[in-house]
Amino acid sequence: MAQVTLKGNPVQVNGQLPQAGSKAPAFSLVAGNLSDVTLASFAGKRKVLNIFPSVDTPTCATSVRTFNKKANELANTVVLCISADLPFAQARFCGAEGLDNVQNLSTLRGAEFIENYGVAIADGPLKGLTARAVVVLDENDTVLHSELVKEIAEEPNYDAALNALK
């Protein structure tokens, strides 16, 4: 179990984020068309997993915008924005913002993702959502970088995540 904070208040997070050098756990998440999408769906591509509680919060929205902007510069890379938001809300947000360089995935039917990636918020007002984290994978699903953001209300270290792909 890890501990992060939400506006300075301690929040427990169940599990452990996959660490650099380990194999990423398989997952199945829900795409915008309500189909199930697996890690294997992105075989042969490098992956940035931008994991956050909800696109309806300012910091989460900023992370999606920032990764969308930087995704153009990444060869053979897909940015997966993963949250508990329903696919309809994710699509509405990206449509309103004109964001088309990221792929949104919902944990709607992805309880095993939340557990296996060690991002399950276990207490406090966000209990049941995912903590803010970034996991970067190579083409073979080996973890190159992982960050569990210590303060949920703060942005991840974009440079560290993207530098792992250089």
Catalogue the active-site residues. 60
Closest CA to 24 of 117, 149, 129: 117
Asked if 65 and 97 count as a contact pair (C-beta separation under 8 A), the reply is: yes
**Which residue's entry shows tokens 């997993």?**
49
Closest CA to 160 of 140, 142, 133, 121: 133
Q: Report which DSSP code applies to 39.
A: G
Q: What is the SS3 assignment for 136?
A: strand
Residue 142 to residues 12, 20, 24, 145, Cα–Cα distance (Å): 26, 8, 6, 9
